[in-house]
């Protein structure tokens, strides 16, 4: 009986992480759509995005709603949910499992230990879930103009760009996830433990800790996120068709973006990125903590 309970506990972080990630994704997805649109606009070599259509997060949100309909704000939601069902499950489950094993091994929890566990969990989980991220970005950029659905988008990418098309931007995706996890998870755990004497293990503690964690991860990850989004959105066809292949890779994208648009181009979409990360983390961690209490 003891072995059975231990085994159940080993699986719980994976289940809780996946469920909480999906709930958070539904609640914040329109903000993520505005972030993606802002990040791809203004690329000097991409004629379709040469002019700045959106002035900021609110302007982008309202224009998408008015010109394309409310549904366009949720274009790409199903690959996003599928991504969270895989990425969120693996990331949070792996992090808390590795942390528990490390604590048992070394006797105490440290910031360094938490960062190592978080980086490992973030990089591995995001690399596995990369195809769903590509589909999400493509559907968000097209909005109501490319309403082909999850399966249709997958077929389009696979038929014209091959299997490699589904792994576009995998390097910056893994790097971004590692940076976010390295800051977000240890900072949350650190803040939560420090605020325990004031707020206890309650919603107020979870709210404040997750909000602080989201600000740090947004600042650190947005430049990589801009590069990742641009690489995922560009197309290079297999059969000589006209493509929108602008960047040769991660480094080239960094260089061209800086050369053509300046340093602040790396912080395009920062406001919606933070506005999304804040509520996303708040919804996630509160849901996660409540799931833990249920069982």
User: pLDDT tens digits, residue range 205-225?
Assistant: 988 988 888 888 889 899 999
pLDDT at 169 > cutoff 90: no
Integer angstrom CA distances of residue 235 from 46, 147, 149, 266: 11, 18, 18, 21
Strands (E), 112-242: none
pLDDT at 236 > cutoff 80: no
Contact assessment for residue 30 and residue 275, using Cβ atoms and an 8 Å cutoff: no
CATH class of the domain whose range is 2-294: mainly alpha
Query: In the chain, where are the structural domains located?
Result: 2-294
- pLDDT tens column, 3-50: 333 444 567 778 888 888 899 899 899 999 999 999 888 776 544 445
Contact assessment for residue 277 and residue 218, using Cβ atoms and an 8 Å cutoff: yes
Q: What is the pLDDT of residue 186?
A: 87
Contact assessment for residue 230 and residue 257, using Cβ atoms and an 8 Å cutoff: yes
* Cα–Cα distance for residue pair 138/254, rounded to 1 Å: 20
* DSSP tag of 75: T
Mean residue pLDDT across the chain:
84
Integer angstrom CA distances of residue 16 from 104, 173, 201: 22, 23, 17
* Cα–Cα distance for residue pair 229/29, rounded to 1 Å: 15
The token pair at 59 is: 């302007």
């Amino acid at each position: 009986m003891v072995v059975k309970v231990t085994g159940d506990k080993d699986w719980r972080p994976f289940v809780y992480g996946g469920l909480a990630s999906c709930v958070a994704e539904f609640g914040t997805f329109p903000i993520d759509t505005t972030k993606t649109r802002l990040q791809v606009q203004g690329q000097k070599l991409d004629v379709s995005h040469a002019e700045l259509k959106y002035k900021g997060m609110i302007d982008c949100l309202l224009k998408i709603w008015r010109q394309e309909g409310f549904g366009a704000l949720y274009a790409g939601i199903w690959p996003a949910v599928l991504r969270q069902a895989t990425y969120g499950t693996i990331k949070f489950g792996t992090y808390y499992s590795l942390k528990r094993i490390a604590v048992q091994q070394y006797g105490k929890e440290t910031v360094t230990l938490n960062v190592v566990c978080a980086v490992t969990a973030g990089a591995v989980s995001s690399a596995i879930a990369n195809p769903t991220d590509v589909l999400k970005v493509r559907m968000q950029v097209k909005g109501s103009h490319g309403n082909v659905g999850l399966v249709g988008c997958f077929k389009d990418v696979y038929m014209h760009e091959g299997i490699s098309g589904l792994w576009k931007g995998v390097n910056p995706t893994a790097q971004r996830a590692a940076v976010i996890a390295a800051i977000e998870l240890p900072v949350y755990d650190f803040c939560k433990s420090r605020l325990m004497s004031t707020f206890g293990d309650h919603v107020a503690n979870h709210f404040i800790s997750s909000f602080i964690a989201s600000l740090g991860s947004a600042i650190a990850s947005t430049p990589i996120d801009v590069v990742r989004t641009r690489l995922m959105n560009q197309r290079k066809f297999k059969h000589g068709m006209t493509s929108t292949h602008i960047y040769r890779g991660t480094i080239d994208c960094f260089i061209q973006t800086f050369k053509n648009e300046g340093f602040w181009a790396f912080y395009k979409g920062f406001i919606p990125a933070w506005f999304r990360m804040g509520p996303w983390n708040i919804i996630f961690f509160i849901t996660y903590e409540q799931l833990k209490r249920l069982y």
